[in-house]
Chain A
Amino acid sequence: MRAVVWNGKQDLRVETVPDPSIVNPHDAIVRVSSTAICGSDLHLFNGLVPGMKQGDILGHEFMGEIVATGRACEQVKVGERVIVMCGISCGRCWFCKHELYSACDNTTPAGSRLALELVYGHAGAAVFGYSHLYGGYSGGQAEYVRVPFADVGCVKIPRDLSDDQVLLLTDIFPTGFMAAENCKIQQGDTIAVFGAGPVGQMSIASAFMLGAEQVLSIDLVPERLAMAAQQGAVIVDETHGDVVTRIDELTGGRGPDAVIDAVGLEAHGTGRQAAYDKVKQALRLDTDRGIALRTAIKVCRKGGIVSIPGVYGGFVDKFPMGAAFEKGLTLTMGQTHFHRYAKPLLDRIRAGVVDPSFVITDRVGLEDLPTYYAKFNDKRGGCIKVVARP
């Protein structure tokens, strides 16, 4: 089969590799019909996630048709059209039982689990195509994928919905939704969303779905801000002066009731602080660029919530603990529990309440993906969300 293979930092190639096969009894093989590049794939592309090996297949947002099942599969059947949750969960451990799917005990192989335990204290669920730290599974930017625990991670898709309408349920729509849900939105709330990339857009849509009065969208890429404005968000352009002052003005000096950091460890930002972060990360003095998170904490109202769907991997320098403490903030974060949200959100898409496909800007073939990684990384040509059809 053909697959997007990682050969090193900013070196992706589409190569011919052996097809996957059923390995364990709960596996299924999915023939991919659509697959997307996620913003978090750029961290792999830029070599910021440790544990990548030459030959790894990328991609964790994918869907398709079941073409083979292991002997212990009871729900998924050959020929069915499914979306596949990007996090892999066993559905049986204590954490899965309590719907904390991304904390699953059993899907990260023992070796990776021990490595993660040394770094983080405990190990969570594996993710398709996301380095050997996250389990070392082959990803979905390929023609076929081996899907472990297919009965747990697949959701059947009715034929009347298009791939574009449902593909984003595999990752970013649940991610944006959980970020908004964590904001515990009340009537009259203002929610500020840092980052107007795909997860930011999903967060904005979800915040409105959950009843936010006003949503602010903070970014510096014109096309992204335009998309946010189209959704009804009030835009704050970082290139037009101080973000903190603007947000203060827009919230009557009170600050937003909750802030979503949909940026993560590759924050850009402007000014001296952003430059400082970039230099430190480039020199490996620091792992994560924290400007978005710092600003989020600074602008959030007293007693408010800072919800963090953006990915962080190591240490954030100059973390404003004093501000967070003084204002009594609640910080809420973590890998999304995808399995919770996909089916209920699918029902909403089917009912015509929401259609997440508006973020898709580029539809390409599998062979084009390496080029589009670069384009997406540079935020060139209005590229916001790339979907490939192998």
Chain B
Amino acid sequence: MQDRNELRSRIVGVNMPRGERIATGLAGGVAFLIGMRRPSLAGFATAGIGAVLMVRAVTGRCPMYRARALRKGIQVRRAITIQGTPSEIYNAWRDLEKLPRFMHHVRSVTVEGDGISRWVVKEGPKELEWRAEIVEDSPGRRLRWRSLPGGDLVHEGSVEIRALKDRGTVVEVKLRYFPPGGLFVASALAGFLRRVTTLQIGYELARLQQLIETGEITTSARRLDEVDDDRALGISDLVSRPPLRSAQTSSWGDASGVIGGAR
């Protein structure tokens, strides 16, 4: 996944080299002019091909190149910084069957043994199912997995965990997948799929942060019966810390005497 940025530009942006664009543009222009001078079917066809080549040169985006690039799948990456130790975060992630409590889109995970697990994920109106195997398991540092053949979604992914100095712990998720529907769907929807997937991962990571830092998943529901995802409730068994700061114990300004006493 090192060449992610390059790959991204080949899929969504200009994916033709400069020289090729100029050559294509010139060839297209010549073909267009020749074609337009001959009022025959062959002439029209030549002019049409010329026009397509010119459009390709001007936009710099070749759908064939895009399709070829997408053979490597749709790649997304998203990170969040959490106030927790690498082992706390690793443990929350490694406890696969409990992942649905912060992974809103995941219905269930069943561990089958030997690093293999069965996943049911809700995606829009559909449920997708697959089996996955863990290919690398470094406690407190990294977890990598890939789907096994025969599932609804071919993909591989990893979560990397690294502690920062005084800033918490970075959790970075990388995912590469091949959308159902093949290259045609992928090339037409690549940008959209990437954005949606990135948002979905961001959503799950925000909930992981809430769970690790506060011991609960944030909801604005006024009543218990208004909560849309009740799997997320009352789960402070993971980490439950007392608050570090509160309004009641604030001593802001005391040192300078500005608020507390007379100035």
Tell me, yes or no, whether B254 is within 8 Å of chain A by CB. Answer: yes
Contacts A23-B223, A93-B83, A110-B207 hold; do A152 and B218 have CB atoms under 8 A apart? Answer: no
For A90, list chain B residues within 8 Å (CB).
210, 213-214, 243
Tell me the bound Cα distance from A75 to B214 in angstroms: 16
Among residues of B, the one whose C-beta sits closest to the C-beta of A135 is B220
User: Chain A residue with minimal CB distance to B254?
Assistant: A344
Asked, given contacts A23-B224, A106-B209, whether A97 binds B83 with beta carbons under 8 Å apart, the answer is yes
Residues of A within 8 A of B253 (CB): 181, 340-341, 344
Q: Which residue of A lies closest to B221 (CB)?
A: A23
Q: Determine if A314 is an interface residue (Cβ-Cβ < 8 Å).
A: no
Closest beta carbon of chain A to B74's beta carbon, Å: 19
A339 to B83, CA, bound (A): 20
Alpha-carbon gap, A94 to B168, bound state (A): 8
Interface size on A, residues (CB 8 A): 66
The smallest beta-carbon distance between A324 and chain B, in angstroms, is: 27
Q: Which of the residues B203, B220, B247, B260 comes within 8 Å of A85, measured between beta carbons?
A: B247
- In the bound complex, do residue B220 and residue A126 qualify as a contact, i.e. CB atoms below 8 Å apart? yes
Q: Which one, A71, A72, A353, contacts B262 given CB within 8 A?
A: A353
Instruction: Tell me if A105 and B244 are in contact (CB < 8 A).
Output: no
Contact yes or no, A109 B258, CB < 8 A: no
Q: Does B126 contact A (CB under 8 A)?
A: no
Collect the chain B residues with CB atoms within 8 Å of residue A341's CB: 250, 252-253, 259
Are B221 and A92 interface neighbours, CB within 8 A? no
Q: Does B117 contact A (CB under 8 A)?
A: no
**Contact between A105 and B213 (Cβ–Cβ < 8 Å)?**
yes
> Which residues of chain B are near A99, meaning CB under 8 Å?
245, 250, 252
**Contact across chains for B248 and A155 when beta carbons are under 8 A apart:** yes
Those of A133-166 within 8 Å (CB) of chain B: 135-138, 146, 148-149, 151-156
Interface residue A190 (Cβ < 8 Å from any Cβ of B): no
Q: Which residue of B lies closest to A87 (CB)?
A: B247
- Give the contact stretch, choosing among A14-22, A215-223, A258-266, A381-389: A14-22
Tell me if A362 counts as interface (CB < 8 A to partner B): no
- Structural contact, A24 and B207, CB atoms closer than 8 A: no
Tell yes or no: B154 within 8 A of A by CB: no
A328 beta carbon closer than 8 Å to chain B: no
Q: Which of A102-152 contact B (CB under 8 A)?
A: 105-114, 117, 126, 132, 135-138, 146, 148-149, 151-152
The CB with the most chain B CB atoms within 10 A, among A25, A136, A209, A341, is that of: A25
Taking a contact as CB atoms under 8 Å apart, the answer to whether A117 and B202 are in contact is yes
Give the residues in chain B near A338, CB-CB below 8 Å. 247
B260 touches A347 (CB 8 A): yes
Question: Once the chains bind, are B218 and A96 in contact (CB under 8 Å)?
Answer: no
Contact across chains for A18 and B223 when beta carbons are under 8 A apart: yes
Across the interface, name the chain A residue whose C-beta is closest to B218.
A109
Binds A, one of B3-11, B29-37, B234-242: B234-242
B227 sits at the interface (CB 8 A): yes
Given contacts A92-B241, A339-B247, 12 further A-B contacts (CB under 8 A): A20-B223, A75-B248, A92-B243, A96-B243, A106-B209, A114-B206, A126-B220, A138-B222, A341-B259, A343-B248, A343-B251, A347-B259
Residue numbers of A with Cβ under 8 A of B are: 18-26, 57, 71-72, 74-75, 85, 90-94, 96-97, 99, 101, 105-114, 117, 126, 132, 135-138, 146, 148-149, 151-156, 177, 181, 209-211, 338-345, 347-348, 353
Which 7 A-B pairs rank lowest in CB-CB distance, beginning with the nearest?
A91-B243, A344-B259, A340-B252, A339-B247, A136-B220, A110-B206, A24-B216
